[in-house]
Amino acid sequence: MFAFQSFYMKYLLIVFSIVLLLSCNRQTRNNDDSKSNMDSSISMNNILTENNPYRIRDSIKRFAIIPKLNLNAKLKIFKSLIDSLQNCYISNEVNQYVEIDKYNYLIIKYIQNIVENHSIVPEILAKDPIKLVRSPDQKVGVYTWDEHAGSTMSSNINILVYRTSDNKMKTIHLEWINRNIEHLTYAGVVKKIYLLSSKKDERIYMIQAEGSTCSNCYFSSMIGFSISYNNLNLKYPLFGNSSDYLFESRDSSLIEFNYNSKIKEFSVSYMVENRSLDTASENIYSISEKWIFNGEKFVLYPFED
């Protein structure tokens, strides 16, 4: 079994390496290539530059190819990738976090390929350290695991999986940061998924997540989205005019979140600090809010004890 897994692991990495080399060579060997090829070459060079902290993940996202194998073979490679990732956690190598980044993004690519191209029970891919959180109607789930980026921030990888009206499975990586964006609400570990509304033509959901941006910086977030027929809308304005809601505190024990599923209402309480630039003093005060779902979105109401 080990020899079989090793074979496919080596095969995958060889394919990935060849793809990168061929991409580089194909895009640079002919000075008379069309403008599109020149643009691709510039793009590739930008991706692989040492100044790009996301060069590993960018390369895998754009150029790594999943071999055309049957489901069982893919699952064996997937398992070997997870084993390699976990070995990286305890590694003392200088490039430890580069390797972790590589395996994380190969795993992301495999999850998306397997879910979208094979009929499987999603729990099959929920192997430690990956957890799967499902919605009450079982039509939505999120694969979530620690990114292990090596920083003081505890960020997570989250892959949203959802079922369309024609019973197909789709995925999207809720990538919280890259060269273009930083979306902190996507960085938390997913705790629960709530189904808020289920109609023939639209379903509305809310994801509850939490995380930390430093050793004593904590946040909780809610992510709203809708699915209409086959269309996922991550910009659904669930909270007033915003698709997400985030609050931060310096003490996790001072964050309270309560959700009443019967009346679809949640309340939050948390402590924040206001530092005065004039006096360098700190004022710590409490914020309490109540949000009630009106059938389409949450509306902010006065908080009553």
Distance CA 171, CA 304 (A): 40
Give the range among 65-79, 89-103, 182-196 with minimum mean pLDDT. 89-103
Place 44 in a pLDDT band, splitting at 50, 70 and 90: low
Region 28-41 average pLDDT: 42
Which run of H or E residues covers position 237?
Answer: none
Question: Does residue 12 surpass a pLDDT of 60?
Answer: no
Of 193 and 92, more confident: 193
Place 1 in a pLDDT band, splitting at 50, 70 and 90: very low
Give the pLDDT of residue 29. 32
For the record, the structure tokens of 125 come out as: 């891919």
Place 204 in a pLDDT band, splitting at 50, 70 and 90: very high
Give the pLDDT of residue 26. 32
The pTM for the full model equals 0.83
Which residue intervals of the chain are DSSP H helices?
2-28, 35-48, 55-63, 71-89, 96-117
Of 174 and 40, more confident: 174
Question: Does residue 234 surpass a pLDDT of 90?
Answer: yes
Of 205 and 229, more confident: 205
Give the pLDDT of residue 4. 45
Give the pLDDT of residue 275. 57
Give the pLDDT of residue 41. 47
Give the pLDDT of residue 250. 77
Give the pLDDT of residue 217. 87
Please identify which residue in the block is written with the tokens 């079994």: 1
Of 152 and 67, more confident: 67
Parallel/antiparallel/unpaired status of strands 131-134 and 189-198: unpaired
Contact predicate 93/19, CB 8 Å: no
